[in-house]
């Protein structure tokens, strides 16, 4: 069993994106990622890069105790635990060990870029998979950002949603060429999300992205945290 885990931050807020937007949630951001969106071009930059590139090591027990000291009341009231990054599945053995510490497990969401297939022990511990496969607008190479086998695993799970960062119609064309299987998914399992890392750009993109979602049959993912707190992190 993994005994340590690398953590960038943890805080209590609300879910700002996807299917469970608005639900109170404890966010656990793990350190590190296998992608670096925006660092080599592309039309947008990862909005949490400055956070997930830093962090500290904790024992699993130490981290569990910190979460319970700070957020036990929130969990008792129904707050979700959102495990994010970076890319949390880099440390999935540690994630399993952490979740198994809970005597009463909260609703668990994992935010991942879809390039790493979960190991079998993790499947039954997660209530919702929030998958954000990257398009070429991320600036990452196809080889780095697409793992067909991992995406096949995620799309076979009924508790998966997919979120795509887009800014224009050409992004939609790429999306539908690359992910032709999306056409078979229910509309509440696939979301378009504006390519913005600040409040001003977010509101500029909302209207055209809403029109694309209506036309192509996707749900719109808000980025509620940017609307309220702009570029602040950890809240």
For the ranges 18-22, 87-91, 162-166, 204-208, the lowest mean pLDDT is seen at: 204-208
Q: Are the CB atoms for 35 and 134 separated by under 8 Å?
A: yes
Cα–Cα dist 83/205, whole Å: 27
What proportion of the chain, given as a percentage, has pLDDT over 90?
73
Q: Work out the pLDDT band at 31, boundaries 50, 70, 90.
A: very high
Does residue 174 register a pLDDT over 80?
yes
Does residue 49 register a pLDDT over 80?
no
Does residue 38 register a pLDDT over 80?
no
Average pLDDT over residues 142-160: 96
Cα–Cα dist 104/112, whole Å: 24
Instruction: Say what the pLDDT of residue 231 is.
Output: 66
């Amino acid at each position: 069993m993994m005994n340590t885990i690398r953590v960038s931050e943890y805080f209590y807020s609300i879910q700002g994106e996807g299917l469970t937007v608005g639900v109170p949630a404890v966010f656990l951001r793990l350190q590190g990622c296998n992608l670096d969106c925006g660092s080599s071009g592309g039309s947008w930059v990862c909005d949490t890069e400055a956070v997930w590139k830093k962090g500290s090591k904790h024992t699993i027990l130490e981290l569990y105790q910190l979460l319970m000291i700070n957020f036990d009341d929130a969990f008792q009231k129904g707050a979700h635990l959102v495990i994010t990054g970076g890319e949390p599945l880099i440390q999935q053995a540690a994630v399993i060990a952490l979740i198994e510490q809970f005597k009463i497990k909260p609703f668990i969401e994992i935010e991942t870029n879809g390039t790493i297939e979960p190991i079998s022990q993790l499947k039954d511990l997660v209530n919702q998979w929030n998958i954000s496969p990257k398009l070429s607008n991320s600036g990452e190479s196809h080889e780095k950002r697409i793992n067909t086998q991992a995406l096949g695993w995620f799309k076979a799970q009924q508790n998966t949603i997919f979120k795509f960062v887009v800014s224009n119609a050409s992004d939609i064309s790429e999306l539908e060429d690359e992910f032709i299987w999306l056409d078979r998914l229910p509309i509440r399992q696939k979301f378009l999300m504006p390519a913005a890392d600040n409040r001003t750009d977010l509101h500029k993109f909302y209207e055209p992205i809403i029109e694309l979602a209506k036309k192509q049959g996707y749900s719109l993912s808000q980025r509620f945290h940017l609307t309220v707190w702009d570029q602040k992190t950890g809240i």
